[in-house]
């Protein structure tokens, strides 16, 4: 398997304070398992190495602007963030990318959906730049990562979740989601294998 870096991008999903830091909205659920997994350090290294090939690094942030934007209160998850929407304002501390992930080379797309490809200009950006293959990193594996991966596949993209650059609240949820994506996408890959092929 080989990839053309000019037609590839990294989708880096929900690397936000609210999602993975103890002080964030979902910190009680995700901060400890994310820290224990070492996923942040691995993802940072992968992002840097992929970027060195010229590949775009595209972050998504879950934010809730005044007026709620495109937020629809149709799940428990969406109701919870709607009820705490001040913590998700685009300029709120919790909505920011974690310090380890901040880089001037990256582009950031905000939305109010679980899929990073829903409700934003990101799909149009990918099409305009000839992107055919995306490598997905982020938290949580069984939430935004799987939702985005499935969505990307339906949009006609070749989607590879980066197995060692995603994490979930439990190892069981993580592994079950990877097994789902092995069927619903082009398949999970390890970061080292992606970089070797590139």
Tens-place pLDDT, residues 89-112? 999 999 999 999 999 889 999 999
Q: pLDDT tens digits, residue range 110-147?
A: 999 999 999 999 999 999 999 999 999 999 999 999 99
Q: Which is more confidently placed, 1 or 193? A: 193
**Cα–Cα distance for residue pair 128/41, rounded to 1 Å:** 31
Sign of the C-alpha dihedral computed for residues 25, 30, 35 and 41 taken in this order: negative
Mean pLDDT of the chain: 96
Dihedrals phi, psi of 78, to nearest 5 degrees? -70, -35
- Name the helix (H) or strand (E) containing 11: strand 8-13
Q: What is the pTM of this model?
A: 0.96
Residue 172: strand, helix, or coil: helix
**Cα–Cα distance for residue pair 140/98, rounded to 1 Å:** 15
β partners of residue 153: none
Q: pLDDT tens digits, residue range 18-50?
A: 999 999 999 999 999 999 999 999 999 999 999
Question: Average pLDDT for residues 61-69, to the nearest whole number?
Answer: 97
Question: Average pLDDT for residues 155-176, to the nearest whole number?
Answer: 98
β partners of residue 12: 59, 137
**Cα–Cα distance for residue pair 118/148, rounded to 1 Å:** 8
DSSP structural state of residue 63? -
Where do the domains of the chain lie, and which CATH numbers do they carry?
Answer: 5-197 (3.40.50.850)
Query: What is the structure's pLDDT at 1?
Result: 67
Helix residue spans in 114-197 (DSSP H): 122-128, 146-154, 171-184, 191-197
């Amino acid at each position: 398997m080989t990839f053309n870096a000019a037609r590839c991008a990294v989708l880096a999903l929900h690397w936000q304070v609210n999602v993975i830091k103890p002080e964030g909205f979902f910190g009680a659920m995700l901060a400890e398992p994310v820290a224990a997994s070492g996923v942040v350090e691995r993802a940072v290294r992968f992002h840097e190495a992929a970027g060195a090939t010229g590949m775009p690094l595209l972050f998504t942030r879950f934010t809730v602007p005044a007026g709620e934007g495109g937020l629809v209160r149709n799940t428990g998850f969406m109701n919870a963030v709607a009820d705490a929407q001040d913590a998700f304002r685009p300029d709120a501390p919790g909505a920011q990318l974690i310090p380890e992930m901040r880089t001037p080379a990256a582009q950031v797309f905000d939305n109010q959906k679980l899929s990073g490809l829903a409700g934003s200009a990101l799909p149009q950006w990918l099409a305009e730049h000839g992107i055919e293959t995306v490598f997905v990193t982020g938290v949580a594996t069984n939430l935004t990562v799987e939702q985005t991966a499935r969505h990307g596949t339906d949009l006609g993209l070749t989607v590879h979740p980066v197995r060692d650059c995603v994490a979930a609240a439990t190892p069981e949820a993580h592994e079950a989601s990877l097994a789902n994506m092995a069927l619903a996408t082009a398949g999970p890959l390890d970061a080292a294998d992606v970089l070797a092929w590139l």
